[in-house]
Amino acid sequence: MSDRLFIFDTTLRDGEQVPGCQLNTVEKIQVAKALEQLGVDVIEAGFPVSSPGDFKSVVEISKAVTWPTICALTRAVEKDIDVAAEALKFAKRGRIHTGIGTSDSHIKYKFNSTREEIIERAIAATKYAKKYVEDVEFYCEDAGRTDNEYLARVVEAVIKAGATVVNIPDTTGYCLPDEYGAKIKYLMEHVDGVHNAILSTHCHNDLGMATANTVQGVLNGARQVEVTVNGIGERAGNTSLEEVAMVFKSHKERDIITNITTNKIYSTSRMVSSLMNMPVQPNKAIVGRNAFAHSSGIHQDGVLKNAQTYEIIDPKDVGIDDNAIVLTARSGRAALKHRLHVLGVDLEQEKLDKVYDEFLKLADRKKDINDDDVLMLVGKDRTATHRIKLEYLQVTSGVGVQSVASICLNLSGVRKYEAAAGNGPVDAGIKAVKKAISNSDMTIQEFLIQAINKGSDDTGKVHMQVEYNGATYYGFSANTDIIAASVEAFVEGDEANAQKVVEHDDVVDDLFNDMKKEMMQAIREQNLDADRVVDYLMMAKYLEKVGDHAVNIAQWAIFRMTGDMEGVKLY
């Protein structure tokens, strides 16, 4: 009888923590639906207490998907768990994922605590989460560097407290496969009641062994694996969903099965890569561009005679179809709609019409349209609501002449025209943008240009990392004109900075409005706190909101604090 291995996908939580890979709620729902079609068992949708955006994403994903369990991450803190439970109220099957660091390093330096106190906190957090949901997962952060005897005590304690899954993360990617496998085996053999819960792996790729460690964990008793699409994740990434799924599909003798519909792997990989603006390395196992390519003459001869001589996986098993419909300028909406459906994207008719119009424009400039081009077009309208848009770009460049760029930026509805000379066309375009937004201090830290496929008419992807005032922002663009793509990516980096400023001001506005209500209520009750009044006046000054409310509160505050009506008049 085969053993069932549960797939816990954390692309939308751990994967989205990668700088520059943040998704909006609509994009997260799109990925979540694709993961549901792929067959993942658990979707970790976010860390609700960390931000309103993460909270909203967990709520909306809970509404959008049907059968996968929706999981919300927390710390071993009651407020975190309260917020997670609220975010999961629409989930058909909800899980709270709580936990705490268990290595001596974490206990001493992160928590300034003791082993016994950590066990007490672990038990308390598990019991508290159990009040809200039946399905509680507990993570032992940095379990990879936790000694096995103490780790077994923690695991046993949380299982007795009600944990249904216990996560054993190699948080730093430090373990070797034999060490990690032995750790899982030790827990299976030494934890009383271990069969009342599922042990889960969660491996990072810092030493390039995330998948190997995960497989060893499974072979030694773990029955849940925590993975991400394309192995995306902090630092060097996480275990790749596609690699684990295909390892056990290829090794049927292990009698371990997953619920993954493997022929949807490639399309899901491409969708995540496109939405997160994170290229898949060409030699990436399973989903890389070269994963099934053969250049050696000996290999080519063998494959032509029998594919199994050098290919252990049929490309069609992961959704790569050499006979796919080729899209050109003569392709109709039906062909485009079909290709999008294959890629896991279903659009409303109005959105399909817009994408089709953009498709025709691209097809006029490029002979054949591939899957990455199609996904790029789907995501193109995300710039429609941006406050900074590049409407016009003209560049003069060549050998022996000075490069000059002229641009028109739409700044929240106001058009601004600028021109600048530079050391090449890209430099000239970026300098013109800096002049238009009156910001010469934004500097480029990283600039990556990548062709989507091949050919001089190909669409080029540009990823840009820019820095301003100590903060880092990310820009992305794709265009058949690589100069335009470069300038657009820089503009998107500026937009990210502008959006952060707007979000900050929105938060401050909300705080001010809440405080104003509080102050007016205090006036009515003739009960003002002096320190709170000062806070309010400082915020009013910051926002330049010195209208009647601010004046009235200031006058009343002076009178209440000094009893001096003259002071009120002076104010």
Q: At what angle do helices 148-161 and 115-130 cross, to 10 degrees?
A: 30
Looking at residue 487, what is its pLDDT? 87
pLDDT at 513: 63
Written in H, E and C, the secondary structure of 87-154 is: HCCCCCCEEEEEEEECCHHHHHHHCCCCHHHHHHHHHHHHHHHHCCCCEEEEEEECHHHCCHHHHHHH
pLDDT of residue 455: 62
Contact 229, 11 (CB under 8 A): yes
Rounded-to-integer distance, Cα 268 and Cα 535, Å: 50
pLDDT for the residue numbered 524 = 59
Residue pair 107/114 in contact by the 8 Å Cβ criterion = yes
Strands 198-203 and 256-257: unpaired
| 388-396 and 403-411 strand pairing | antiparallel
The structure tokens 């959008």 sit at 64
Yes or no: say if 255 and 2 are a contact pair by the CB < 8 Å rule.
Answer: yes
pLDDT tens string, the chain, 571 residues long: the values are: 359 999 999 999 998 888 777 888 888 998 999 999 999 999 999 999 998 889 999 999 999 999 999 999 999 999 999 999 999 999 999 999 999 999 999 999 999 999 999 999 999 999 999 999 999 999 999 999 999 999 999 999 999 999 999 999 999 999 999 999 999 999 999 999 999 999 999 999 999 999 999 999 999 999 999 999 999 998 999 999 999 999 999 999 999 999 999 999 998 998 898 888 788 888 899 998 788 764 444 444 454 555 656 568 888 899 887 545 567 777 788 888 877 777 667 778 888 888 888 888 877 777 667 776 777 777 665 555 567 888 889 999 888 889 999 999 887 777 888 899 999 999 998 899 888 887 667 888 888 887 655 566 667 778 788 888 777 777 777 777 888 888 888 888 777 665 554 444 454 555 556 666 666 666 556 665 655 565 555 555 544 444 545 555 555 555 555 444 444 343 3
* pLDDT number for residue 502: 45
* Residues pairing with 227 in the sheet: 9
First to last CA, the chain: 83
CA distance 563 to 373: 71
Pair 373, 366: CB distance under 8 Å: yes
Q: Quick one: DSSP state of residue 184?
A: H
Q: Rounded distance, CA 43 to CA 62, Å?
A: 10
C-alpha to C-alpha distance for 556 and 270, rounded to whole angstroms: 62
CA separation for the pair 330, 567 (Å, rounded): 79
Cα angle value 292/295/297 (rounded, 5°): 125
Contacts of 142 (CB under 8 A, 6+ apart): 101, 102, 103, 105, 106, 169, 171, 172
Write out the two tokens for 373. Answer: 């081009």
Q: Residue 285: is it exposed, middle or buried by C-beta count within 10 angstroms (0-12/13-18/19+)?
A: middle
Specify the pLDDT at position 220: 97
The predicted structure's pLDDT at residue 567: 41
Report how far residue 264's alpha carbon sits from residue 282's, in angstroms, rounded to the nearest whole number: 19
Integer Cα distance of 422 and 549 in angstroms: 51
pLDDT of residue 171: 95
What is the crossing angle of helices 482-524 and 548-562, to 10°?
Answer: 40
Could you tell me where the DSSP H helices lie in 283-417? 297-305, 333-342, 349-365, 371-379
Helix axes 210-219, 177-190, angle to 10 degrees: 30
Cβ-proximal residues to 236 (8 Å cutoff; 6+ apart), any chain? 173, 204, 205, 206, 208
Complete DSSP assignment for 518-560: HHHHHHHTT---HHHHHHHHHHHHHTT--SHHHHHHHHHHHHH
Which residue blocks in 172-283 are alpha helix, DSSP H?
A: 177-190, 210-219, 241-250, 265-275
Cα 7 off chain centre by: 18
